[in-house]
Structure 1
């Protein structure tokens, strides 16, 4: 049986929880962090006057739940479950990057790389 360091799970878990809290408290700023354009009800002069979608709060809840799950699995000593979960999370990150690449617009496309790099880091820790 191989024993892994618990620190990555705690660090990744804390990072996910903090990203989720940020998305929940400051959803407008999260659009730029994610690489997506701010939504608007129709033609607007200024992109900053767009609306914040309630889906951004779902993103915050998703991130908090991911982080809490990582910490809980590590705390319980469920290394195989944590490894499986990190593998799944890495796929989610690659999917997030694809959404940004396809829908973020050409000026935000570079943001997809942040999602893909995070996915690779999660996959590399499996």
Structure 2
């Protein structure tokens, strides 16, 4: 039976998520700027310290990527990704500070993209 949906987007986006996660784990301090949160102050002095939660963020991104790749045929994985991106944007908006608040838009735009993908797939 032929499928209406292309098999290409899920592995491409999944690989992107895996790559984002793989970047966060070895350099969690750099990930703050990518995400849109200020580096936390702490024992490292003025430079701040990276929270262990950035490792969770990297692992979560890798998990999202694997979900997209492994479960692409079920059609529901994008809904989870969409909700996570909206939540990430809210976190950045509330805690990123005025200078980084604009980065929440990147989270919300990708969340809207995943939501659009869900609506499109569920409409068939």
Same fold by TM (over 0.5)? yes
Q: Which runs of 4+ in 1 moved over 3 A?
A: none
CA distance in 2, matches of 1:72, 1:88: 14
Q: Once the two structures are superposed, what CA deviation does each residue of 1:66-88 show, in whole Å capped at 9, x if it has no partner? A: 101111113xxxx3x3x211011
Q: How far did residue 103 of structure 1 move? A: 0.4
Q: State the TM-score, normalized to the length of structure 1.
A: 0.86
CA distance in 2, matches of 1:113, 1:92: 14
CA distance in 1, matches of 2:12, 2:115: 15
What is aligned with 1:65? 63
SS in 1 for 2:71: helix
Q: 2:52 aligns with which of 40, 51, 54?
A: 54
What is aligned with 1:27? 28
CA distance in 2, matches of 1:63, 1:55: 12
Equivalent residues in 2 for 1:80-99, closer than 5 Å: 81=74, 83-99=75-91
Q: How far did residue 2 of structure 1 move? A: 4.9
CA distance in 1, matches of 2:71, 2:102: 33
Higher share of residues assigned strand: 2
Q: Which runs of 5+ in 2 are unaligned?
A: 119-124
Aligned residues: 117
What is aligned with 1:13? 14
CA distance in 2, matches of 1:9, 1:91: 17
Q: State the TM-score, normalized to the length of structure 2.
A: 0.87
Root mean square deviation of aligned Cα: 1.7
Higher share of residues assigned helix: 1
What is aligned with 2:112? 120
CA distance in 2, matches of 1:94, 1:73: 21
